[in-house]
Amino acid sequence: MAATPVVPLSQHPAAFVGLGDQQERLEPLQVTISEAARLLAYDTRTIRRLIARGELTAVGEGRMRRVPVQALRDYQQRHIIP
C-alpha cells in the first residue's frame, strides 16, 4: 500500500478561506494520526498507544480516526517539565 503524502498544515488547501485577494488562515479542528505524530515529533505507533490508553482523545473509528488539535495542546500542556 502506498503512503499518502503529508501536506504541511500551512499549505493545506482547506487552511485558507476568503474572498478575492483577502484570505484568512484557518486552523484545522482535527488532524490525522500521521499529522499528530509529526506535530508532536512522535511515532504513529506512540500516538495510537496514547489513544488506546486514553491519554489522547480521538474522533472517529478505524482509518477515519482523527485527533483534535486541542487534544494535542492539552497533552503537551500536561507533560511540560517544570
pLDDT at 61: 86
For the full predicted model, state whether its pTM sits above 0.75.
no
pLDDT at 23: 67
1-59: per-residue pLDDT in tens? 455 555 555 555 555 555 566 667 788 899 999 999 999 999 999 999 999 999 999 99
Q: Per the structure block, which three cell numbers stand in for 40? A: 508532536
Q: Which residues of 8-35 are buried (b: 16+ CB within 10 A; e: fewer)?
A: ebeeeeebeeeeeeeeeeeeeebbbbeb
